[in-house]
């Protein structure tokens, strides 16, 4: 008796799974946009003191660009986790 060959066709995703993936991608995109907006406002305003703190650091160290990337990444991750909680909570 021959062994059955596995199918080489890609598995189709359900419309519900596609909708969830799009929702998670949009949450991540919005989180990155909010993070970049926060970094822009925080580094341009003297109220927060971030510009002064970044200026006192070593020139080869943490810069405003690194602050912006870190903020965008952090906001994006948190927004994605929030999107996961909201997306899976809708079914209940």
pLDDT, tens digit (0-9, with 9 covering 90-100), for 12-38: 888 888 988 999 999 999 999 999 999
4 found inside a domain: no
pLDDT (tens digit, 9 = 90+) per residue, 42-63?
A: 988 888 888 888 888 767 667 8
Number of domains, the chain? 1
Helix axes 15-44, 64-89, angle to 10 degrees: 150
- Domain of 82, in residue numbers: 15-89
What's the token pair of residue 67? 């602050």
In a domain, residue 7? The reply is no
Q: CA 49, CA 44: separation in Å to the nearest integer? A: 9
Domain-located, residue 32: yes
pLDDT for residue 65 is more than 90? no
pLDDT at residue number 71 = 95
In a domain, residue 33? The reply is yes
pTM of the predicted structure, to 2 decimals = 0.77
Residue 2 placed within a domain: no
């Amino acid at each position: 008796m021959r062994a059955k060959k596995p199918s080489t066709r890609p598995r189709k995703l359900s419309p519900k799974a596609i909708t969830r993936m799009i929702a998670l991608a949009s949450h991540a995109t919005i989180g990155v946009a909010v993070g970049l907006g926060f970094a822009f406002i925080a580094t341009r305003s003297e109220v927060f003191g971030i510009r002064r703190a970044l200026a006192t650091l070593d020139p080869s160290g943490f810069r405003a660009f690194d602050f912006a990337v870190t903020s965008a990444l952090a906001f994006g991750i948190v927004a994605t986790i929030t999107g996961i909680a909201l997306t899976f909570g809708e079914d209940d």
